Amino acid sequence: MKFGVNTWVWVSPLTTADVEKLVPLVKQMGFDWIEFPIENPDGFDYQQAGELVRDYGLGVSVAAVIGPDRDLVHPDKTIQANGLAYVRHCIKATQTMGASTLMGPMYSAVGRTWQATPAERAQDVDLLVQQLSQLASVAADHGVTLCLEPLNRFETSFINLAAQGIEVIDRVNHPACQLMLDTFHMNIEELSIDDAIRAVGPRLRHFHACENDRGAPGSGHVPWPDVAQALRDIHYDGPVVIESFTDKVKTIARAAAIWRPFATSQDALAQDGLMFLKKLLNSE
C-alpha cells in the first residue's frame, strides 16, 4: 500500500516553485506518493512536476477542482461544456505527469446545492452518465482512470453516498471510470463507513484518509480500525492519501471551512498522519 499527501496541506494554488519545494519534503518525510490539484489550468509545469516526482521515486495522482464554471450537470450548457473541457485538460495533464489517476467530484460545482425531485435527480444522473461516458473514453486513450468522489451534504446535494457513486459508475460501465472515497465525507454521510467501503469493493481505486475535522488521521474519532479492516476485506492496495488544508491561504480556507490550525504545523499534520496510517494499515 502506498501512503501519500495532497499538496493542499501546505499551499493553494500550486505553482512550479511549490512543486520544487514540496516533492523533496514529501519524500524526506517518508511518503511514497504525492497528489497535485489543478486549480488553475497550467498553473504549474506538468512536465517538470512529472520529472521531479520520478527523480524522487514517488507515485503521483491528480485532483480535479470543480468550481462554478466547471459544473458537468449545470442547466447552462456553456458551463457544462467548460467543465468537460477542463476535465479533458486535466486528463492530458495527468498523462503528462506520468500519473494514471484523476480524482475528484467530477459532476457538479463544490458548494452548489439544490433541492431536486426524484424525476429531476434522475434527469441529472442521466446527464452525468452521458458526460462521464465521453470523458472515460478520453481518459482511457490517455492511460488515465477517473475516480469519482462523493462529497458531504454541505458541499453538494448530488452525490453524497458511496451507493450513489456506485449507481453512476455501474451505469457508465467503463474501466476508466471508477470511484474514490474520503473518510472526512463518509464520517458525515455514511451509516457505516466500513460497510460502504465493502459495497464499493473493486470499484475503489483511490482513497483519502482524513480525520473528522480535517486534522491528522488518528487525532479524532473516525473509526480507523473498521476502515482498515474494510480495506483489507476488499483487498485494496492503491494509494492512501492525506488531504487537508491550511488556514493560512484565505481562499482555500474559506472554500473548505478551515478556520483554525489542526496541528502545531502543517508539516506535523502530515508527519503525524503518515506515522499513524503506516502503523494502522501495515499491521495485520
Task: Give pLDDT, residue 209.
Answer: 97
- pLDDT per residue as tens digits for the range 26-41: 999 999 999 999 999 9
Q: What is each CA distance from 9 to 35, 46, 249, 252, in whole angstroms?
A: 10, 20, 10, 10
Confidence of residue 257 (pLDDT cuts 50, 70, 90): confident
Residues 96-113: what's their mean pLDDT?
96
What are residue 63's DSSP bridge partners? Answer: 37, 103
Q: Which domains does the chain have, with CATH numbers?
A: 2-281 (3.20.20.150)
pLDDT of 53 strictly over 70: yes
Cell of 164: 450513489
The catalytically annotated residue of 39, 51, 149, 211 is: 149
Range with the lowest mean pLDDT among 76-85, 176-185, 246-255, 262-271?
A: 246-255
The catalytically annotated residue of 35, 190, 211, 243 is: 243
Segment (H or E) for 181: strand 177-182
Is 243 catalytic? The answer is: yes
- CB-based contacts of 239, cutoff 8 Å, min separation 6: 1, 2, 3, 4, 33, 59, 61, 101, 206, 207
- pLDDT per residue as tens digits for the range 142-163: 999 999 999 999 999 999 999 9
Confidence of residue 9 (pLDDT cuts 50, 70, 90): very high
Q: Residue 237 in contact with residue 1, Cβ under 8 Å?
A: yes
Residues 103-128: what's their mean pLDDT?
96
Task: Give pLDDT, residue 192.
Answer: 98
Task: Give pLDDT, residue 261.
Answer: 74
Confidence of residue 255 (pLDDT cuts 50, 70, 90): low
Task: Give pLDDT, residue 248.
Answer: 64
Task: Give pLDDT, residue 264.
Answer: 86
pLDDT of 260 strictly over 70: yes
Is 149 catalytic? The answer is: yes
pLDDT of 87 strictly over 90: yes
- pLDDT per residue as tens digits for the range 60-70: 999 999 999 99
Cα–Cα distance, 208 to 242 (Å, whole number): 6
